[in-house]
Every structure is written in structure tokens, then in C-alpha cells.
Amino acid sequence: MIAGVRAPLIALLLLTGAASSRAADPAAPQYPDGARFFAANCAVCHGAAGAGQPALAPPLLSNPARYAALPEGRRQLVLTVLYGMFGDITVDQKHFNFKMTEFSSQNDASLAAVLNFVVFDLAHAPSAAPPIAPEEIAAGRATPMDGAAVREHRASVLASLGGG
């Protein structure tokens, strides 16, 4: 009888241990809702890991973390997802001339989640930077602009950061 209980008990312990090791997995995203949004809407151009694609879309592994530390940088992130961006930009010494779609039809919580995924899970911003709040997305909606204006705002943010 003990042998009959022992096998299910061992299986239960193994399953529980596997589940807890998955929960502690450092590769698991901090922002899983943002990860799902990114996979469904952004990865096709920026790549699943945010490394970008040559001649198509820039990488998201450096600038978003830098932007998250500054109020105007945070605003840049918000404006980019709300209104898209188009035109010539340089990221990590690589040239891109692209048109990023706008996501203004998405709700504020979803956009904040995807930005937090990009900033913290992909770009590894320092924990001192606060997460982007849905209220920041709502504030960005107060100043609609086109993708060219978003690109111009980006240039001023990069200048304040010393280039990029």
C-alpha cells in the first residue's frame, strides 16, 4: 500500500518543484502582459528579443532603458507607441528609415505593460527607474502628433542624453 502512495507522492513533489523553479526563473518576464502584447504586435518587426531587424526595425535594447530615466524620455516612449514614428533614425550606429505603426487604439494599461516589458525585460533599465504608469499613456493622448513629430521629439531627447 505504501508503494502505491509513494509514486504519486513523488510525482506530486516533482511537479511542485518544477512549478516553483519556473516561478523563480530569471528568464520569466517581469511584465508578462507586456510580453504577450509585444509578441503579438511588435516582435514581427523588432524581433522576439527586441534586437531589431536590419533595414526593417531598430533594436530596443539600449535607448528605452536610457529614456526611462528622464521625464522627456518617458514621454518619448509613450508618444512612440501612441502615434508611431517614421523617417530616418540611427540606433547603435545603424541607419533605419521605417514607419512604425501607431497603437493609439489600444488601452492605456496594455500600452504601459508593453513599454514596461521593453524597458525592464528587454532593455534592462535599472530598478531605480519607476515603471511606466497607464496615467502616463493617458497624458500622452492629450498631445496628439504624427510620426514625424515623434521622430523630432526623439532627436531632442537623444540630444539631452548626449546622443545615441
CATH number where 102 lies = 1.10.760.10
Q: Are 108 and 134 in contact (CB under 8 A)?
A: yes
Q: What is the pLDDT of residue 61?
A: 95
The three cell numbers locating residue 10: 513523488
- Give the count of domains, the chain: 1
At residue 25, the pLDDT reads: 57
Strand, coil or helix: what is 120?
helix
- Residue 2 forms part of a structural domain: no
Inside any domain, residue 77: yes
Cell 502584447 belongs to 37
Q: Residue 46: inside a domain, yes or no?
A: yes
Structure confidence at residue 112 (pLDDT): 98
What is the model's pLDDT at position 19?
36
User: Distance between CA 36 and CA 119 in Å, rounded?
Assistant: 15
19 lies in a domain?
no
Q: Report if residue 4 sits inside a domain.
A: no
Please report whether residue 9 resides in a domain: no
* The predicted structure's pLDDT at residue 98: 87
User: Hey, what's the cell of 139?
Assistant: 497624458
Residue burial 36-53, b: 16+ Cβ < 10 Å; e: rest: ebbeebbeeebbeebebe
pLDDT for position 50? 97
Taking each continuous run of H as one helix and of E as one strand, the counts in the chain are: 8, 2
Question: What span, in angstroms and rounded, lies between the C-alpha atoms of 81 and 93?
Answer: 23
Planar angle of CA 32, 36, 37, nearest 5 degrees:
115
The domain in which residue 138 lies consists of: 28-161
Prediction pTM value = 0.83
Q: What is the pLDDT of residue 73?
A: 96
Give the residues of the chain that fall short of pLDDT 50.
1-24
E strand map for 35-115: 85-91, 94-100
| Residue 64 placed within a domain | yes
